[in-house]
Amino acid sequence: MSQKRTMTQDELKTLVGQAALQYVVPGEIVGVGTGSTVNKFIDALATMKDRIKGAVSSSEASTKRLTALGITVFDSNEVAELSVYIDGADEIDARGYMIKGGGAALTREKIVAAQSRQFVCIADESKLVPTLGKFPLPVEVIPMATQRLIRQFATLGGRATVRLADGQPLVTDNGQHLLDVTGLQISDPLAFESQVNQWPGVVTVGVFAHQKAHVCLLGTAGGVKTLK
């Protein structure tokens, strides 16, 4: 008797990466996010590279992968508007609000999302949460503001630590540092994002509420579920 095998998280990422191709408009430039799920999308996008003009990328890592696969990467300043931006998430709720930045690319991700008419989030089902905040919230900061911002997050009940790489503060593609904040329950993502964005020294907060997902392709044991 044959038994149905549960798909691994990696297989679910491949599934949603491929499913996202249906949102790519032939002849146009597509916005491309960052992360292991997006890497599956980039690999799938390579199969239709002759039918698109190219991509605007949200990180040096994605640019490298796109270029290696023969997909032209445009500077975001060269393109006024994109019809679609495809990216992953660290957490997403049923309204399309997300935490992003686990891959340190949140600032450029928000920039490309802001120039796109539609944000399609691709994620495996482990990313769907009732309330944002269990995943440590990434915040890109100007290094001279780090200690004050750590104290400011403490007033909201958050514990912020500097993200390290090889024992040193990680330096983002934009030359800045990252805080990861635990202990938050973000019940009003729009208000939270607006509030933290105003703190001097914050470059970008990893709550994507003003640039939320319009569609989420969720990889589940039963296949790809589309949440709108």
186, β-bridge pairs = 132
Q: Is 219 annotated as a binding residue?
A: no
> What's the CA gap between 85 and 99, in Å, rounded?
16
Question: Binding segment for ligand 5RP among 60-68, 105-113, 143-151, 171-179 (CB under 6 A)?
Answer: 105-113
127 marked as binding residue:
yes
The least CB distance from residue 137 to ligand 5RP, in Å, is: 11
Q: Determine if 205 is a binding residue for ligand 5RP (CB under 6 A).
A: no
Active site residue 109: yes
- Annotated binding residue at 61? no
Structure tokens given for 192: 């939270």
What is the C-alpha separation between 200 and 167, in angstroms, rounded?
Answer: 26
Which single residue is written with the structure tokens 């032939």? 26
C-alpha to C-alpha distance for 137 and 197, rounded to whole angstroms: 13
Helix and strand element counts for the chain (H, E): 6, 16
Considering the candidates 109, 125, 140, 193, report the single residue annotated as catalytic: 109
The single residue among 106, 120, 207, 216 that binds ligand 5RP, judged by CB under 6 A, is: 106
Q: Residue 82: name the closest of 51, 119, 109 by CA.
A: 119
Which window, 15-23, 81-89, 179-187, 216-224, contacts ligand 5RP (CB under 6 A)? Answer: 81-89
- Taking the complex as a whole, the smallest distance from the CB of residue 3 to ligand 5RP amounts, in Å, to 28
Cβ 102 to ligand 5RP shortest distance, Å:
3
Q: Is 76 in the site for ligand 5RP (CB under 6 A)?
A: no
**Residue 9, CB-side half-sphere exposure with 13 Å CA sphere:** 7
Site for ligand 5RP (CB under 6 A): which residue of 17, 35, 133, 219?
Answer: 35
How many C-beta atoms surround the C-beta of residue 167 within 10 A?
5
Binding site for ligand 5RP (CB under 6 A): 33-37, 87-90, 100-106, 109
